[in-house]
Structure 1
């Protein structure tokens, strides 16, 4: 069970406000460092997103984690997370358009999702209530394992043809 994820943003307040809106959550200041925010989903799992300023990094402190400064992050990131949201595809598209962030519907084959490119820097995959069941079915180890075997078999056949 993932309870929270932390990621950087150029404008943590704006990102927290938008993500709280899309998750029906609430956002609060996050006192670990000035300018950080937390979005709480108000669910039974304690799910939350921690958004810290882009020029901050987590460091191993003397007794526990600490926050330090870093050079501004590159424009894009390897970070991404998939979350289920209680709003519609149309709502996500409207909010993305309002914020000027890239939003696109994607069919990944076994499931569908919506890419929300926060600050046009990193991707959050959003699953509406109608998309979540297919994702949950696909991510069961046996289903994913069978799919992976299929993909690997197809790749071997393609390499044999070349």
Structure 2
């Protein structure tokens, strides 16, 4: 199952608003990755979402105990595209696969709300892998109401 994916666009707000309209959902600012980002939320039972970053955004692995970040004007090896997926495996199993492949991977708690395993395919493309426990956290927090609460907590209004 996919929970969300990200793309880039010339006009992230407009693209997110159209996707949200097609779903009958909502579009909101999405500041955690890079300024100017928006998120389209379906408001469905799986909390399906599409994150829309400014054109040219590349997701890059952060050093140490930090979340991946968005940057403009990188080396072209990275991309704004990522997705969050479910697995029935546990943390150690996922980390063992990453180690076997020689790919960076680490646990992160997104916004203090839900955990993910950042897995960097070939060291350049991020996917977020969610164990059953992480999936429950995601479903409980990545709701339209939950996102509006997050925006309010960082001093942003839903546009």
TM-score normalized by the length of structure 1: 0.49
More helix by share: 1
- What TM-score results when the alignment is normalised by the length of structure 2? 0.49
Bigger CA radius of gyration: 1
| Structure with more contact order per residue of length (Cα contacts < 8 Å, sep ≥ 6) | 2
